[in-house]
Amino acid sequence: MTRLNKVSAAVADNISEEGLIGDPVPLWKQTWLRLLRKRSGQIGLAIIGILLLVAIFAPVIAPYDPNEVLIGIEKVKRREPPCIHLLGCPAEHPQHLMGIDGNTRDYFSRLVYGSRISLMIGLTTVSAALIVGVFLGAISGYFGGWIDNIVMRIMDVILGFPSLLLAIAIVAVLGPGIVNALLAISIVSVPAYARVTRASVLSVKTLDFVAATRVLGGSKWRILFRRVLPNALTPIVVLATLGIATAILDAAGLSFLGLGAQPPMAEWGTMLGTERNQIFSAPHLVFFPGLAIMITVLGFNLLGDGLRDALDPRLNT
């Protein structure tokens, strides 16, 4: 009787998720419902949602302009600790939730505006690497032969170097700056998307519906982009979500070394690099941007884990 109840519950859950016969629920909606049932997906979505709200409403949330020097405007000192009135800071002293940096700028405002730059870095680099990597991996896996050999050998050469070291070398050649840093991170990220796309295309192109389309006279390019690639995107979507976290971390590393975003841009890695020698005298200047990077990377990693579980048919049968 207990086993029958479990089977009935599973059938009911499947009906509620996929709808009645003749009224199927779209695949994207099924994936969304599965993602919302995963604890990692819930936490990841919450973190990223808060980050998006902070980035969108940064002018409303931040009490100061991120590059405004407050010396001469308020009675503040360089690298003052946080002052929060609710926690006992004197009311006559200006409130600064995360203290003052070495240039007498409000650290909380700079951290808030830094969320915009981090999201821009993650989305821009992953989008560029995704377009190039998916295209190269798709034609390599579908056409094979000499095209496959040339593309994959180039990807192997790039993968032969540690990604961060290769990014540093590229920026060193092109010159420091946020644009060159984004370009370098995109280049070192391409092989991962190309190899995953190739593997996925190789498995999909042997399926029966692809052979049927080929028999009906479909062109190679039409079959690739209308039949094969849409059915090979599942692992690519998961990898792209995880790749955003990696891109943000790499960009912060380049900025920390002085090769990425340049002062006075409010970027978390630059903020860390500028104040790295104050870890004992003013630890809040190192702690807050480091915490922001950690939480952001954690959010995208958790979302990627949730998407992987939601899109894996073996975990949703």
Give the DSSP H or E segment for 171: helix 163-174
CA distance 199 to 140: 10
Is the pLDDT at 262 greater than 50? The verdict is yes
Distance, CA of 101 to chain centre: 28
Q: Kindly report, residue by residue over 40-93, the tens digit of the pLDDT.
A: 889 999 999 999 999 999 999 999 999 998 887 888 888 899 989 888 888 888
Q: Kindly report, residue by residue over 179-230, the tens digit of the pLDDT.
A: 999 999 999 999 999 999 999 999 888 888 887 877 787 788 888 888 888 8
CA-closest candidate to residue 296, choices 239, 246, 237: 246
Q: Which fold has domain 37-315?
A: MetI-like fold (1.10.3720)
